[in-house]
Amino acid sequence: MRAVILILAALLLLLQVRLWVSDGGYRAAWRLDEQVAAQEVENAALRERNRALAAEVSDLKTGLDAVQEIARSELGMIREGETLFQVVELEEASLDAVSGGR
């Protein structure tokens, strides 16, 4: 009887080790849970990006304001009658030359 109990205990111990250590065990499940959580975060960021892009597409399809804004910012276009002021910041080396190296 004692031998049967020892064999059953050894089998139980072996099954526990496989459950905790093997590729299909708890460690693998925890790793998969972490990967799922990371993917959910990435998916949420991509959903937000898609929402912003869809809103921009909708603006471009329906109104001229978005088209004008893009033309102004990316192409440097201005309306008739407007005056463009461009501010150019001097680099530090240029400032030293202008001020005489003071």
Is the pLDDT at 44 greater than 90? The verdict is yes
- Helices 2-21 and 26-62, axial angle in degrees (round to 10): 20
- Non-local (6+) Cβ contacts of 77 within 8 A are 71
CA 54 to CA 45: how far, in whole Å? 14
Is the pLDDT at 101 greater than 60? The verdict is no
CA 34 to CA 38: how far, in whole Å? 6
CA 84 to CA 68: how far, in whole Å? 15
49 versus 22: the higher-pLDDT residue is 49
What the block records as the tokens of 12 is 């139980």
pLDDT confidence bin for 94, thresholds 50/70/90: low
